[in-house]
Amino acid sequence: MAKKKVQSAFFCQNCGTQSPKWLGKCPQCNEWNTFVEEVIEKEEKTKTWNGLNKVSIPVSINDISFAKEKRIKTSDIELNRVLGGGIVPGSVVLLGGDPGIGKSTLLLQLALTSEKKILYVSGEESESQIKMRAQRVENSSRNCLILTETSTQNIFQQIEKVQPEILIIDSVQTLHTTHIDSSPGSVSQIRECTSEMIKYAKQTGTSVFLIGHINKDGAIAGPKILEHMVDTVLQFEGDRNHVYRILRTIKNRFGSASELGVYEMAQSGLREVNNPSEILISDRDEETSGVAIAVTIEGARPLMIEIQSLVSSAVYGTPQRSATSFDTRRLNMLLAVLEKRCGFRLGVKDVFLNITGGIKPDDTAIDLAVICSVLSSDQDKPIGMQVCFAAEVGLSGEIRAVNRIEQRIAEAEKLGYKQIIISKFNKFNPSAFNIEIKQCSKIEEVFRLLF
């Protein structure tokens, strides 16, 4: 009898690079001390997914029949949007996010509301825990089957019995395959299990959703190549202290990679937010100083966000600068512009800046709103409630043009703003809008306009 060969190799826990011996520094990702020994034991006899053993042959591209790809529309509009218009049959979607952010809730809701037959495989929770969650979200569907299992061999056995149209795995880190002898969650296990799932999805046309944990840097735990292997990578973000959650596309082979979905975590599960701009702006009865509204673009959608600041005389020798959801270095730069170019004495003041709603905009078009909010608080003069801003501020205090200005103006008009302040250098068709559009080239001009 041939002796089973036990093999082991070292894997970088950061990027998944394999090496026959231990290395101090990964040659791929340059991380230190990330190599861990994992046993890889290959038994050639038990192939995992052997439902169909098709052999591919080359075909002429003209002979490939192509029916317009049918997408499975879910009842969740936001999810359809981030997937690029629905679930593509045979696609593999990886959903990452912080613990407790709502990944399991999102996909369980998908399973409970869909008309398709869905198998929800959980390696993290028991059946009764899943039932408890399902009762909270108050949707029941007879098409949803629950399986608590972590071995891919057993999962595939059940799959052959029930033949689901959509498979959900919660989470890929709990899966293990007998092909490989290392523990669940290790790089070689995650990689092997994912490739089995991908093979299954491609051969049967079943859509597979994989939930993935993320590590402390925010990347999906496990090898980076996981993201290369799957078709779509979605990221669920948000501050756990806020009720709003953002579902972002990071990669999508079947659609735009800059889409965004907004949800609200309620008592009874996740609810779609159809008009995110409204929720990001707090209700105000009267004008308060230090508040300015900016129009930013997140993904492909314009969003109105509220910027609040507080400027007060520094109590201690060194003034404090603190920003929530905004880059402190950029705030310092904007304050320096105000000080040097416009002569405002902010060097002796504490400045606190806050963007409400827990969203972290990555868009320089909010610069002007930041500056106006700081000035408004400094002068203690409110900015009119019907005014909003969309422009970048340069180092010499000039107001610069931003992209997709027409989309921004349209959003401001839709939400009932009366005036938007933008750069003089932005070109657009003025007859298309009903809102008053003020174009400025210097901060002083904006200042004169407002106060």
Residues that bind ligand TYD (CB under 6 A): 97, 99-105, 133, 136-137, 265, 267-269
Nearest distance, CB of residue 114 and Mg ion, angstroms:
19
Nearer to Mg ion, 104 or 289 (CB): 104
B/e letters for 187-201, b = 16+ CB within 10 Å, e = fewer, are bbbbbbbbbbbbbbb
Measured from the CB atom, the residue of 103 and 191 that comes closer to ligand TYD is 103
Measured from the CB of residue 217, what is the shortest distance to Mg ion in angstroms?
Answer: 20
Rounded to whole angstroms, the Cα distance separating 418 from 406 reads 15
**Cα(250)–Cα(227) distance, integer angstroms:** 9
Q: How many CB atoms lie under 10 A from the CB of residue 218?
A: 11
Tell me whether residue 81 or residue 103 sits nearer to ligand TYD (CB atom).
103
The listed partner (Mg ion, ligand TYD, none) that binds 101, CB under 5 to 8 Å by sort, is ligand TYD
Which residues have C-beta within 8 Å of that of residue 360, sequence separation ≥ 6? Answer: 325, 326
Helix axes 328-342, 443-450, angle to 10 degrees: 90
Residue 102 binds which of Mg ion, ligand TYD, none (CB < 5-8 A, kind-dependent): ligand TYD
Cβ at position 198, least distance to ligand TYD in Å:
22
The residue among 132 and 449 lying less far from ligand TYD, judged by its C-beta, is 132
| Least Å from the CB of residue 99 to ligand TYD | 5
Question: If contact means CB under 5 to 8 A according to the sort of partner, which of ligand TYD, Mg ion, none does residue 296 touch?
Answer: none
For residue 201, the minimal CB distance to ligand TYD (Å) is 22
Q: Which does 267 bind (CB under 5 to 8 A by kind): ligand TYD, Mg ion, none?
A: ligand TYD
Strand order in the sheet with 419-423: 321-324, 349-355, 301-313, 291-298, 387-390, 419-423, 436-440
| Residue placing its CB nearer to Mg ion in the complex, 190 or 355 | 190
Residues that bind Mg ion (CB under 5 A): 104
163 interface partner picked from Mg ion, ligand TYD, none, CB below 5 to 8 A per type: none
Distances (CA, A) of 301 to 205, 244, 324, 407, 440: 31, 16, 22, 8, 25
Q: Which residue's CB is nearer to ligand TYD, number 96 or number 302? A: 96
Please identify the residue of the shown chain whose CB is closest to the bound Mg ion.
Answer: 104
Nearest of 441, 397, 322, 9 to residue 188 by alpha carbon:
9
Cβ of residue 95: shortest distance to Mg ion, in angstroms?
Answer: 10
Number of residues assigned to the chain: 451
Which of 89, 144, 91 is closest to 115 using CA atoms? 144
From the CB of 243, what's the least distance to ligand TYD, in Å?
8
- Contact between 356 and 386 (Cβ < 8 Å): no
Burial tier of 252 (Cβ tally within 10 Å: 0-12, 13-18, 19+):
buried
Shortest separation between residue 106's beta carbon and ligand TYD, angstroms: 7
Which does residue 334 bind out of Mg ion, ligand TYD, none, counting CB within 5 to 8 angstroms by kind?
none
Please state, in angstroms and rounded to a whole number, the distance separating the CA atoms of residues 152 and 175: 7
State which residue, 121 or 370, has the beta carbon closest to Mg ion.
121
**Residue 224 binding: pick among Mg ion, ligand TYD, none (C-beta 5-8 Å cut-off by kind):** none
What order of strands is seen across the sheet that includes strand 144-148?
144-148, 118-122, 166-170, 207-213, 92-97, 232-237, 244-252, 260-266, 269-272
Give 150 or 188: the residue with its C-beta nearer to ligand TYD.
150
